[in-house]
Amino acid sequence: MNNLSQIKDYILKKTLENAERASGRLPVATDKDGRFTYGKIEDWRAGFWPGILNYCYLMSGNDRYLEYAESYHTAFVDRLYNKKETLDHDIGFLYIPTEYARYKIKGCSDSLKATIDAADSLLERYNEKGKYIVAWNVWENRGEFGKNNVRRMIIDCMMNLGILFEASELTGDNKYFEAAKNHGLTCMKTIVRPDFTTFHTYLFDMETGKPDKGETWQGHSDSSCWSRGQAWAVAGFTMAYRYTKEKAFLDTAIATADKFISFLDDNYLPAWDFVFRNTGAVPDASASGIAACGLLELSEYVTESKALFYKESAKKLIDSLWNNCILCNDENFEALVNRCTGFYDQDIDVDAGIIYGDYYFVKAIAKLCGAQWII
């Protein structure tokens, strides 16, 4: 990529500007004018902004990014210990980019403790009968779907397994590893369909733990393939292989990656749900960044020819983000990446900047620049 240095400079400069503007608040998405909206610490997306700051430090060595990231430390610790009712399976999304990153970068013992305690909270959601991690808490205002959350796993959780794998290495206790591995195997057998597309969510019988059926929440339909979910599969199963060396995880990562790539439009910008591919539908640029991260890592575990294919595919995704979702933004647009889609059917953050879209774009660039990944 001839423009890698230019992209890195863009990220570093704009992130500093955003950090000064945020002034301790947590950016989560952009409004219709391209300005950031800010979320509470209870938001599941809260960890991605400090994570961007930590990656900018890893790419630059500039302590200003660490200082900005440090300002959020107390709030994340307070949520972990004093607001546990606000936590669900997204504990990994919250505490990998923040407390674990703070431990890994600075060696802070209180963040080491917080990382392990966060992993314990995630482990409490493990259903032994079904061998999966329960995703969401009950949503009383979402009817039958919300009530069924007590027996639901979702594809996103593959990315949260990293905190369990790391806790196992940090403590020497195999319970974290086994739960994470078992969840991944269950996900592989249920959420991943025979054609290697993915459901968003899957339900299990509460009494027996047996698989019941697949459903969607943010995708178009129960039978369609939500592009961000497919990207979570690519990156998540690749990460699971990194920690376990289970060939089944590698095979699934390869198959879901090939399916993702085959569904891309000519401009390498995925439709928000792949049922709408090649229709000019609203895209989800966040799926591009997530998939690029997965493909870049996956290229390390496959044959030379396959590695080249995945690296080139990842770079095409990033080039598309740069050309179609960044360079076209006006000077008032505050996020890094435009044209992400949070929840299309509920008109939430549609064709907008979303903080996890920025995070995975930055993570992919960090990889290409040779910076160490947090996880």
Q: What is the pLDDT of residue 316?
A: 98
CA atoms within 13 A on the CB side of 32: 1
Q: What is the pLDDT of residue 2?
A: 81
Q: For residue 357, is it within any domain?
A: yes
Q: What is the pLDDT of residue 73?
A: 98
- 300: CATH: 1.50.10.10
CA 124 to chain centre: 21
The count of structural domains within the chain is: 1
Q: What is the DSSP-derived secondary structure letter of residue 269?
A: -
Structure tokens, 226: 């939500």
Q: For residue 87, is it within any domain?
A: no
| Residue 180: closest CA among 209, 208, 159, 197 | 159
Could you state, in chain order, the average pLDDT of each consecutive group of 10 residues for the chain (375 residues)? 93 98 98 97 98 98 98 98 97 98 98 98 98 96 93 98 98 98 98 98 96 98 98 98 98 98 97 97 98 98 98 98 96 97 97 98 98 96
Helix (H) or strand (E) holding 94: helix 91-95
* Domain extent for 286: 27-37+246-375
Q: For residue 331, is it within any domain?
A: yes
Indicate the pairing of strand 211-215 with strand 201-204. Answer: antiparallel
Report angle CA 259, 261, 265 to the nearest 5 degrees: 120
Chain length of the chain = 375
Q: Report the 10 Å Cβ neighbour count for 40.
A: 12
The one-letter amino acid at 13:
K
Measured CA to CA, the distance from residue 292 to residue 317 in angstroms comes to 6
Q: What is the pLDDT of residue 6?
A: 97
| Torsion of the alpha carbons at 219, 221, 223 and 228, rounded to the nearest 10 | -10
Q: What is the pLDDT of residue 341?
A: 98
Catalytic residues: 90, 156
| Torsion of the alpha carbons at 341, 88, 124 and 214, rounded to the nearest 10 | -50
Measured CA to CA, the distance from residue 345 to residue 261 in angstroms comes to 24
CA atoms within 13 A on the CB side of 111: 22
By the 10 Å C-beta count (0-12 exposed, 13-18 middle, 19+ buried), 28 is classed as buried
Q: For residue 296, is it within any domain?
A: yes
Q: For residue 229, is it within any domain?
A: no
Positive or negative CA dihedral for 23, 354, 216, 374? negative
The one-letter amino acid at 329:
N
Q: For residue 209, is it within any domain?
A: no
Strand positions, DSSP E, the chain: 26-30, 36-39, 126-127, 132-133, 152-154, 201-204, 211-215, 340-343, 348-352
The SS3 assignment for 13 reads helix
Q: For residue 129, is it within any domain?
A: no
Q: 270-273 long-range CB contacts below 8 Å, 24 or more apart?
A: 270/227, 270/231, 271/227, 272/226, 272/227, 272/228, 272/341, 272/344, 273/219, 273/220, 273/224, 273/225, 273/226, 273/227, 273/344
